[in-house]
Amino acid sequence: MSLGAWVMLAFGVLVLVGGLTACLVVAVRTDRRKQEEGVGFLDEGDE
């Protein structure tokens, strides 16, 4: 494969895998914090 192909492969992996991982980490942390505060998924605003 050419250097350009390797660069685009790295670019795609970095953006997509990096982006998805970052979002999942934020989601897991937020959900864990909510659980610690005693707020379950179904308690989120169903007043």
Partner 1 sequence: MAETRERWDSRGAFIMAAIGSAVGLGNVWRFPYIAYDNGGGAFFIPYFVALLTAGIPLMIVEYALGVRFQGSAARSFRKVGRGWEWLGWWALMVGSVISFYYCVIMAWSWRYLYDSVASIFTGGVPWAGDRAKDCFYNGVLHLSKGPGEVGGLVWPIVGGLALTWLSIWWIIHKGVKRVGKIVMLTVPLPVLILVVLFIRGVTLEGAASGISFYLTPDFAALTNPRVWVAAYGQIFFSLSLGFGILIAYASYLPKRSDITNNAFITSFSNCLTSFFAGFVVFSVLGFLAHQKGVPVKDVLSSGPGLAFVTYPTAIAKIQMGNFLIAVVSALFFLMLLSLGVDSAFSIVEGMVTGLHDKFRANRGVICALMCTFGFLAGLVFCTDAGLYYLDIADNWMSKYGLALVGLMECIVVGWFFGSHRLRKLFRREHPELAEGAPLCGPYELKQYVNEVSDFRVGWWWDLCIMVVTPGILTGAIVLNFLDYLKEGYLQGPGKPYPTWAVVLLGWGLAGLVVLLGIFFMVLRGGRDEGEEVAS
36 binds partner 1 (CB under 8 A): no
> Could you write out the DSSP letters of every residue in the chain?
--HHHHHHHHHHHHHHHHHHHHHHHHHHHHHHHHHHTT--GGGSS--
Q: Which of 36, 37, 38, 47 binds partner 1 (CB under 8 A)?
A: 47
Size of the site for partner 1 (CB under 8 A): 28
Q: Per CB under 8 A, does 37 bind partner 1?
A: no
Contact residues for partner 1 (CB under 8 A)? 1-2, 4-9, 11-12, 15-17, 19-20, 23-24, 26-27, 30-31, 41-47
